[in-house]
Every structure is written in C-alpha cells, then in structure tokens.
Chains A and B, each alone.
Chain A
Amino acid sequence: MKYLNTKTVWSPVFIRHSLLVALMYVPVLFSCEQNEPSTFSNIITPPGVYILNQGSDGKNNAGLSYYSFKTGETSFDIFNGTLGDTGQDMMAYGSKLYITVSKSSVVTVLDLKTGKLLKRISVKKDEQQRTPRYLTYYEGNVYASTYDGNVIRLDTTSLEITGVTPVGSNPEGIAAVNGKLYVANSNGLEFGNPDKTLSVVDIASFKETKRITVGLNPYIVKADPYGDIYLTYLGNFNDISGGFQRVNTFTNEVTDINIPANQQFTIVDDLLYYFGITYNADYTTNCSFGIFNVKTETPVTNQFIADGTIINTAYGIGVDPDNKDVYIADTNYSNPGTVVIFGQDGKKKKTLNVGINACQFIFN
C-alpha cells in the first residue's frame, strides 16, 4: 500500500484543486436548458381560412395556420408542431377537414368549424407506409391517392379505411366525376422515367377500369361542374416541359389547352385559377398567374396580377368562395413564407406571414 497515502488524498491542497476542477464544469451541468414552450392562439374564430404549411423535408414541422377574417389575426400553427412531416393536401367535406400528412403516412381529420382534432388515421399496410397524397370525395366517402400505388377509401363517419384498390405507380392528383375516380399516375419516384396516364376507377366496384394517356408526369387533377377533368403535368424537367389538359369524361378525349398552367390550380364556380412556372436560361424562374373559364372553355386572363406584385416561387393557390379573393402562397423554400391576398382586380390587398411552404387553402 505504498501509494495509498490518506494524508495526501485529504490534504487541503488536494481538496481545493478538486473543488476548482469541479467548479469549472458546473456551468455546463446547469446549462441543460429546455425550449420555452411557445404560446400561440389556437382558437379558431370563423369565418377564416386554414392554410396548410407543408414544412421542410424530415423536420416534422408541417403546420396549419389559420387566418381569421373576424379578428384579422393569423395563428402560426394551430397544431403547435404536432401535425407531422409533409402536409400535402387539405380538403373540406361535410363538417370535417381532411389533411394528408404524407411522410408521416397519416390522414388527419379535424372539425372544420372548431379546428379540433378528431382522428389521426394511420395509412399503412401492416407496418409499411403507404404515403397518402391527394384527396377527393364522392357520395359519403373520402378517397386518397397513396404513393405505394393505390387509392384508399375512408368512411366519413367511422373515419376508418374501408377499401384499397391498386392504380398506377406513385399516384398524385385525384378527382371524382360521375361515379368514377381519375387518378394521375406519376411514377415520380423513378426519376427520369415518368408515367403519363390517368387511371380510371369505377367507384361502385372500386376497381380500376381503364387508363387514359395524358401529358408526361401528370400532377394535379380536378373536376369542373360540367363533367370535365382538368389536369396539369410536369414534364421531365429537361426537354419536355409541363402543361395543361382537359379530359372529357364521356368520350375520354384529351385536349391540350394553351395557357401557362403547369402546377396547382383551383376551381371555384365557373372559374379555374392557376399558376405556372417556367425556367429562364439563367436558371431563374418565372411564375404566371391566370384565370380560365371552364364553362366557356376560354382563357379569362393570363396576367392575373395587375399591380406588379412579385411572387418569387408560387407554391399554392386558393380562392375565397364568398368574396372571390385570390390567395397565393409564396415560398422561400426553407423559411416561413407569405400568403399574398389579391382582389378579383388582381391588386394586392394584404400579406400574411405563415409557416414553411404554404400550399393549400380551405375557407370555413
């Protein structure tokens, strides 16, 4: 026991140095701070608009903003960060609001009036994700395209998945007309080899009945009140650019429409509001905004914005069904974006600060 000198160990010098050493690290021990809980107004005061913020990839920060016309306030995220990853589509049907949260592989259902969470429906095959994308409804059921190549059917009362039917690869947009679902097969996961078909699914038998060839890489599909389907396609981002088409659901005839639409669009009454994006030689982008009349099947304007307001990267478009104000989401990709509200005259009325990648609008 040559080394065990208790006198040394307990000497004042030893204790002093030990204490000094311990003190040096004390700030570190106490610096384990937590995030302060953020406080937001989560109260929904209708009328107003729900704005779905897609969030950033893999950051679990999709969110739902609400702009109340009554109070004039915009809440940043009524979910306070719990929505999930990649908010993709949002739809109101009956008294409920449906949101596909793609990467989280859930369909989140809210009460449309109060914004209260009713159910988070897990969209999985055993443990495997299905990745819900776009939504539509038809006679008491909600349908969602899922990236694993299916369409799922949700019962709006039980909020359970009641059926799954296969369509093409990586389906995107979906619309329902006359007992049929039209689903855009993108094959988007296989980059460089996009699909160019719409799957037609008979709703009664819930089976795919045929495919219609459309533009390369079909994206958003929506139905007008006159039995037509409108769709945008994205092209291959190289030599084939995107565009806009109409499908007559009686004859399955596909017509190219020469307007600059190639992204999201929305149909309110007889008017279709769209935007399109083109690339310049220097790799910057141009956004065009326009209106198309689906009754007369003629363009109304290809230059909707009348006051020179600049939108950098348009990401979503919505129209207030009451006063016909047009909501255009502008994204800067990784920071909270803005929503610019235009009157029917194309002049800016207001700008809202919302979450990251605002993309869908639902008015309540």
Chain B
Amino acid sequence: MFKKIYFYFLLGLTTEGIFFPALSAQEIQDTIPIHRLNEVEINASPLPSPFKASAPLQILKSSDWSKFNTMQISDAIQFLSGAQVKDYGGIGGLKTISIRNLGANYTNVAYDGIAITDYQTGQIDLGRFFLDHVETITFHIGESDQILQTAQMQSLAGTLNIITPSFLPGDKKKRQLKASLKAGSFGLINPSVSFGKTLNHTFTMHVSADYLKTDGNYPFKQAIGYANDSIAKRKRNNSDVESLKLEANLLGKFENHGKLRFKTYYYRSERGLPSAVIYYNDYMSERLNDRIFFTQASYTQLLNEKIDFQSNAKFNFSFTNYTNNMYSNRYLENLYYQREYYLNATFRYKFSKQWSFSWANDGIYGNFNSNLPNNVFPSRVTWLSAFSGKYETETYNLTAKLLYTSVNDYVRIVKTPVDYHRFSPYIGFSICPIRNIPFRLRGFYKNTFRMPTFGDIYYSIVTNVNLKPENARQYNIGFTGSTGWGDRIPYFSFAVDLYHNRIENKIVAVPVSSIYIWSTQNYDKVNIQGIDMNFKMHISTSSSFLWKINGTYTHQQVLDKTPESPMYNQQIPYTPRHTASGWMELETPWVNFNYTVLYSGKRYYERINRPEYCLPAFSEHGITLSRWFKWKDVSFSVKAGCQNLFNRQYEVIRSYPMQGRTFRIELKIDN
C-alpha cells in the first residue's frame, strides 16, 4: 500500500480518483434575458438561451453568487443540477466536477471558451478558481447549440465555462477600480483588486490580483467505527493554503468587426495536502507547490454577411512540486511539468436565417515530464475536427454535430504508444409544441469518449499501453417552461430532464498481486439513469419585498453492470440516489437576506453496498446578509455569512471531514 504513495498526486491525489475515475455526479434553468450587471460589464459574446437549448444549459451570474457566501467556483456550482462536486474538504482540498456521474474526466472546464487540460490525471481542481473577477458560469450537459466554438469544447460529455468580465471600448466609463477584502474563520484572509482602463478607441485592458492565505486547521468530530462507537474530537492539520493569482486581459474591438481577447494568467500556490484522516494517527506530511501559467488569445472576425470565423491559441505551462516528509529520515520530492500548445480555427457559414453550418479544427500538442524513476517522457498530439449544422426558428431548434478525433502518443521509452482515431456524433432538438406558449420539449443523444490519461497508461506500476479509451453514451429527454402569474409571482420557470448514460470500457485500476501493485485495465460497465428537476421563482409580497427561490432535485441510479462481477447491480461509490439544493433570496430595502441549502442522500464509499460502508445523508445550510451603499461615484458593499449553520459534521469523501460552522465577512469597493 505504501508503495503507492508516490502516485497519489500523479493519479488524482486520491484512490477514488484512480479507481473510479469516471464514477463520481446536479442544475438551474434561467430564461431571464442577460442583463447588464453594471455599466461596464457586458459579455463579449451573447450568452445562449437556456430555454431554447437542445441540451440542458444552466447559467450562473455574478449577480447570483454576489449574495451568497461563496468563494470558490466549486461552492457555486453545487447549485446546478446534474453537477456533482467531489469535495475533499477545506479550501486546499481537491474539488472536481462530474456531470451526471460520468466522472470528472468527462467534464471540460474552460476559461473564456478555451479548455483547461491536465495530461496527468485528466481532472481539473476547481478549488483554485475563485469567484472574484468571474462574470458568468455556463454549464452545458451534453452539447452547446453554439456552433462557433472550438472542437475541443465538444469533445466531452459537458462543459463548465468560466467567463471573466469584458471591459470593452465604448463603455461609458473610462476606467474602473474594484477592491475587496474577505476575512473569516480559520485564519482566512483574501484581498483582491482589479483595474480596467480604456486605452484608446480600439483597446481596453483589465488586470486583477488575488491573494489568499488561510491556516485551514478546522476542528471536526470523527465517528469511530461502523456503529459510531466513539466520537473523536480532532483538528484538521496540514490544511494551510497560500496562493496568488495574477491575470491580465487585453481586449480589442476593431473597425473591421474583428474582436480580440488576449489573456495571461499566472497562479501559484503553496499548500498542505490534507490527506485522509486516519484513526489513531494525526501525522500529515504531504505538501504541494503549484505554478500555472497560461496565455491565450481569441480572435473573432466577420468576413462577410454569411461567413464569420474565430481563432483561438493557447500556451500552457504548469509545474507541480509534491513533497512528502513521511518519516524523519525520508523526504520525498516529485516534480511534474506539463506543457501544452493549442491552436484552433472555426468557420461558420450562415446559409440562411435558419440554417447555419460550421467547421472547427483544433491541433493540440501536450507533453509531460517528471523526476519519476519510471518516467517515459510522454507527449500527445491531438487533432480534432468538428462539422456542425444548426436549424433554428422560433419553434424549432435542431443541432447536429460530428467530431473526428485523432490521438497520437509519443514516448521515449517502451513499447507501442497510443494511436487512436474516432468519430463521435451529437444530435439534439428543442421544439415549442404550442405556438405562443413558453413550453418546450427537448432531447439529445451524444456519444463521447475519454482518452486514458498519461497517468492511466504510462504511470501505473504495471503499465498497460493496450488501454482503450472509455466510451460513454448520453441520452436525454426533457421539457422546460417559464411563465408568471401577475404581480405576486412575476416569474416562474422549470425544467425536467430524464437521462440515461452508459459507460463501457471503463478504466479501472486493478491490483495484480497486492493492493500496491496495480495496473489499469478496461474493465467495467456502468449504467446511469436519473431525473434532474429544477425551478426558479420570484415572489413579490409587496412593492419593496422580492423573494427569489431556486431549487434543484436529482434522483439517480448509478449501477455497476460489469458482467459476472460480484458488484453487479451495486450502486457505484459516492453516488447518492437523492440530491437537492436550493437557495432563497429576500430583497428588502434595507438588507438582502440569502439562505442556501444542500442535501445529499446516503452514499456508499466501497463498490459493495454494505451498511458498514455507507456515508450518512447530510444537509448543509448557510445564511448571508448583504447590503450596499453609494457615496458619490463609489459603491460599497458589506456581506457577512455563515456556512454550515448547524455545524453538521459530514464527509463527502470517506475520511475527508468537511468544515463545520464557518464565518466570513467581505467588504467591497467599486469605483
């Protein structure tokens, strides 16, 4: 078992990441037209309509979470249905998002439309993304109806796109300064500042800096034994985080209808890696030191009335230093380096008002290096080509896409590397069956796959280069509507989706002689069926009181269908049958009140559903009070909140206790 320690980080920090890479899975419909958050923040490209979308689309805006007591993106996306967040606890703990239990490797996490990748684990830690300086989060399950996008954005089972604010020339204000300071329990301090300026008629710039520090050592209670024989009062240790994020944006809007967005991002963190809390042993010694740098550019140009094109380019470099001072006489240090070069060009042809087609081509080169003794210097060349067609009227919305993928791996040492080609289709519709009634039926089918990561293929102890990609098929059928009833309930919307997913050739780490000597194999079959429901409602109880209520509910069955397996028909680990979330906002003239709740039913943490291996259901409640003032041109806002109000002691992942009651205050100045 201990020989595996090396590979913790390499394969996703935890064993769950290794053994159930695709087994980890929640949404909110929004038909409100995009509104301007304030005079300077508008979107570079208009957001698609969740109401007309053929596949479930949810949008969260900064106006939503500005009243929450949330800080990390992973906190906010828990209120989306169909998104399951695996949270290892604390600010520094790993947080990944899985779409309808397909696994974190099936989720594209994109920053301003360009995917973030990880060649090592294929999973993106959302813990490092903070909500300051984010304007919108769009969450697509299946596929976006947008066809002017990169081919890579179509390559997985769904997309979480993080959109940062645009400060465009032409805005009334010439400059903008924002500053905020958060402070909270467990030594949290998080100052943040951003500055935007119009440079000339063509260019604007926007820079931001965020610093965060917390000791993170929260107290928790651990129940010992299956029958909770005793309760140990303990304290998380080695959970400290110190991070710095710098970002610079240059936006251009040219007279020839060209738009440029150029971004440079730098992040560094130094943190303890809080590992599983082990009975009778408090010692923790794993530390992580990250540096991520990327620079990306996106250029959109209208060529003529019928044709427009977009080109995206990116360079990414990331460095990770993992250390483990396991014993006084043994210090372990692993270094990991990843580089990626990315180039895309997409052409869109508007055949008529209703018909449009696009052709997207992406070329990606990524490589990986480390000081591991079994390093094979793998690199991967991926070519993606997507042909999309769309037919759109007020009544009908039909989208069809076909993606071609070619993957070639090159390794300096060993055997025959991966050489892989494949077509993957998408087809989706949304129909308004009765004219003038805001009710739509929708459905989609998507076939997608995930490539084994470098960790899967080249860094298991017994390497398996014959590993095949995992195959996933998604089927979805649903309906959505929106209405309002007079002044009392000015707005009501809902969406219900039934889905069925099938995974084949699931990549699983299998022990070959003892649990620390394993190999990855295509092994398992998983069937997922579920229902996602959500609603949004505004209630006005008087001219000055407005209630906003949002709720989501998911029921799902995620079953192991591996033939002849002793686990056949068992619910996959960490997949609750019932999950729900909700938030309620009361706007009053004096103060805004916000209440949030998350609920998760019981789950199993092992592949066999024995009662001993059950994690109890939990619900977590939070309240936030906020208000803003204006003095001359400057607006101030004050926010105070409490998370986990009832100090519920729970775990999302076995042996990773979550924070109890947490307080946070925030001051914001906006000029």
Which segment, of A7-15, A206-214, A223-231, A295-303, faces chain B?
A7-15
Q: Smallest CB–CB gap between A169 and chain B, Å? A: 7
Of the candidates A2, A11, A56, A104, the one having the most CB atoms from chain B within 10 angstroms of its own CB is A56
A307 at the A/B interface (Cβ < 8 Å)? no
- The contact of B229 among A13, A80, A188, A313, by CB within 8 Å, is A80
6 smallest A-B Cβ distances: which pairs? A192-B373, A58-B276, A148-B327, A81-B226, A37-B227, A8-B542
A309 at the A/B interface (Cβ < 8 Å)? no
Q: Smallest CB–CB gap between A269 and chain B, Å? A: 27
A17/B541 contact (C-beta < 8 A), A24-B549, A58-B275 known: yes
What residue in chain A is nearest B608 (Cβ atoms)?
A: A335
B327 near A147: Cβ-Cβ < 8 Å? yes
Q: Smallest CB–CB gap between A332 and chain B, Å? A: 6
Decide if the interface of chain A is mainly helix, strand, loop or mixed: loop
What residue in chain B is nearest A331 (Cβ atoms)?
A: B511
A334/B19 contact (C-beta < 8 A), A33-B616, A57-B4 known: yes
Of the candidates B276, B513, B516, the one having the most CB atoms from chain A within 10 angstroms of its own CB is B513
Cβ contacts under 8 Å, A192 to chain B:
372-374
Cβ contacts under 8 Å, A84 to chain B:
278-281
What residue in chain B is nearest A282 (Cβ atoms)?
A: B466
| Bound form: Cα–Cα A103–B1 in Å | 9
17 other contacts beyond A29-B619, A335-B567, with CB at 8 A cut-off? A34-B616, A59-B605, A60-B654, A61-B606, A79-B225, A80-B229, A85-B281, A86-B1, A103-B1, A125-B328, A129-B327, A189-B326, A189-B332, A190-B373, A191-B461, A237-B517, A285-B513
A103/B511 contact (C-beta < 8 A), A35-B616, A80-B229, A237-B462 known: no
A3 near B589: Cβ-Cβ < 8 Å? yes
Binding site for A on B (CB under 8 A): 1-7, 14-15, 19, 224-230, 275-276, 278-283, 326-330, 332, 372-374, 461-462, 464, 466, 488, 510-517, 519, 521, 539, 541-545, 547, 549, 551, 565-567, 580, 582, 584, 588-590, 597, 599, 601-602, 605-608, 610-614, 616-619, 648, 654-655
Listed A/B pairs (24) with beta-carbon separation below 8 Å? A3-B589, A8-B542, A8-B545, A21-B549, A25-B582, A31-B601, A32-B618, A56-B606, A59-B276, A76-B612, A82-B230, A105-B280, A106-B280, A129-B281, A169-B330, A191-B461, A277-B513, A279-B512, A279-B519, A282-B466, A283-B519, A332-B567, A333-B511, A356-B606
A197 at the A/B interface (Cβ < 8 Å)? no
Binding site for B on A (CB under 8 A): 2-3, 5, 8-9, 11, 13-14, 17-18, 21, 24-25, 28-29, 31-39, 54, 56-61, 76-77, 79-82, 84-86, 101-106, 120, 122, 124-125, 127-131, 147-149, 169-170, 188-193, 234, 237-238, 262-263, 277, 279, 282-283, 285, 313, 315, 331-336, 356-357
B466 near A283: Cβ-Cβ < 8 Å? yes
A191 near B488: Cβ-Cβ < 8 Å? no
- The contact of B602 among A33, A38, A59, by CB within 8 Å, is A33
A104/B279 contact (C-beta < 8 A), A13-B488, A82-B225 known: yes
| Bound form: Cα–Cα A131–B515 in Å | 17
| Bound form: Cα–Cα A234–B451 in Å | 31
Cβ contacts under 8 Å, A332 to chain B:
565-567
A77/B226 contact (C-beta < 8 A), A147-B2, A192-B372 known: yes
What residue in chain B is nearest A8 (Cβ atoms)?
A: B542
A3/B283 contact (C-beta < 8 A), A59-B654, A188-B2, A313-B511 known: no
- The contact of A313 among B227, B512, B542, by CB within 8 Å, is B512
